Amino acid sequence: MPSSAPTPPDANLLRGHLDLILLSIIQGTPKYGLEISKLAQDATNGYFDLKVGSLYPALHRLEKAGFVRSEFKSGPRSGNQVKAYTLTESGGRELATRRADFETFTQQLSKLWTLAGGIG
């Protein structure tokens, strides 16, 4: 019996971590927008359901910052051209920095939970 999808994150929480999520997904082989969205959804049982209205502006922002580059490739099914995104060298450094920052953040937050006697 498949488990039910978790409640999606608050929009502000997602927005604050969207670049980290996208850079994490894009590392490795080139990926196109719909593929990125599907990978996020599949890997998290629907928790990260990236919508077009936030996905593509974020990808364009990351490209403008030099963290990803894009090129047109043949799509997997139709053969139509799709824009595939690849992590750049500076994008790899940015991903490592953001992961370390996130790890530090969660460790420090955990200390607060312990101080407050836990959550729940």
Under 8 Å between Cβ of 70 and 85: yes
Give the 3-state secondary structure of 71-114. EEEECCCCCCEEEEEEECHHHHHHHHHHHHHHHHHHHHHHHHHH
Q: What is the pLDDT of residues 35-51, one digit of tens each?
A: 999 999 999 999 999 99
Q: Are 22 and 28 in contact (CB under 8 A)?
A: no
Quote the pLDDT of residue 68: 98
pLDDT of residue 21: 97
Cβ 73 vs Cβ 82: under 8 Å: yes
Residue 70, phi then psi, degrees to nearest 5: -125, 155
Record the pTM.
0.86
Per CATH, domain 11-115 is 3.40.640.10: no
Domain spans in the chain, listed from the N-terminal domain onward: 11-115
- pLDDT tens track for 73-109: 888 777 789 999 999 999 999 999 999 999 999 999 9
